């Protein structure tokens, strides 16, 4: 459910890598091996991730293809500036998700398994804009996280509960 399977893909002309190269060149920044390695890794999977998880997906220190922690942080900021990633906070840490090529969406956060699930709701956007108009607030964007328990965890919970019942 955290995969793109349930969300429409937004058609884009350039691959994330090409889009990033274009962004770098337009700003006189250099196309380095580290930046390319990171853009490739980040867009090889759709899951949400933090800086630590990204580092774990790359070769470890000393091995070719490794990228240092400061460079990972610096490059993640560049991805956000370039419109490739969106950043938000979860449990006090920065979490990133694909923005380029993916539609606006919001999240369920399961407090049992700690996973994020995406959903889209045009009605929500309409309501947001209406409420903002009512309060004369100029909307730039929003962040909504609905927390609770996902279906899988709810079932697991029920099983555990039934099991306890049988034991009595």
Residue 86 has which token pair?
Answer: 């969106």
Q: Interface with its own copies includes 113 (CB under 8 A)?
A: no
Strand, helix or coil for residue 11: coil
To which residue do tokens 């893909």 refer? 9
* Residue 93 dihedral angles phi and psi, to the nearest 5°: -125, 160
Q: Interface with DNA includes 51 (CB under 7 A)?
A: yes
Residue 89 has which token pair?
Answer: 């906070």
Q: Are 110 and 149 in contact (CB under 8 A)?
A: yes
Give the one residue of 144, 158, 159, 160 binding its own copies; rule: CB under 8 A. 144
Which of the stretches 47-55, 111-119, 130-138, 158-166 binds DNA when contact is defined by CB under 7 A?
Answer: 47-55
Choosing among DNA, its own copies, none, which partner's interface includes residue 121 (Cβ < 5 to 8 Å by kind)?
Answer: its own copies
Give the one residue of 1, 2, 7, 29 binding DNA; rule: CB under 7 A. 29
Choosing among DNA, its own copies, none, which partner's interface includes residue 56 (Cβ < 5 to 8 Å by kind)?
Answer: none
């Amino acid at each position: 459910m955290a995969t793109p399977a349930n969300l429409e893909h937004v058609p884009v002309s350039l691959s994330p890598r090409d889009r990033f190269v274009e962004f770098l060149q337009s700003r006189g920044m250099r196309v380095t091996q580290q930046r390319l390695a990171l853009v490739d890794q980040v867009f090889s999977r759709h899951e949400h991730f933090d800086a630590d998880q990204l580092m774990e997906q790359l070769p470890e220190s000393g091995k070719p293809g490794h990228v240092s922690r400061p460079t990972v942080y610096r490059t993640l900021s560049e991805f956000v500036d370039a419109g490739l990633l969106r950043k938000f906070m979860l449990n006090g840490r920065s979490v990133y998700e694909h923005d380029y090529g993916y539609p606006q969406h919001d999240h369920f956060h399961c407090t049992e398994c700690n996973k994020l699930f995406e959903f889209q709701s045009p009605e929500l956007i309409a309501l947001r804009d209406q409420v903002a108009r009512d309060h004369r607030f100029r909307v730039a964007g929003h962040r909504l996280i609905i927390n609770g328990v996902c279906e899988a965890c709810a079932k697991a919970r029920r099983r555990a509960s039934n099991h306890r019942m049988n034991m009595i």
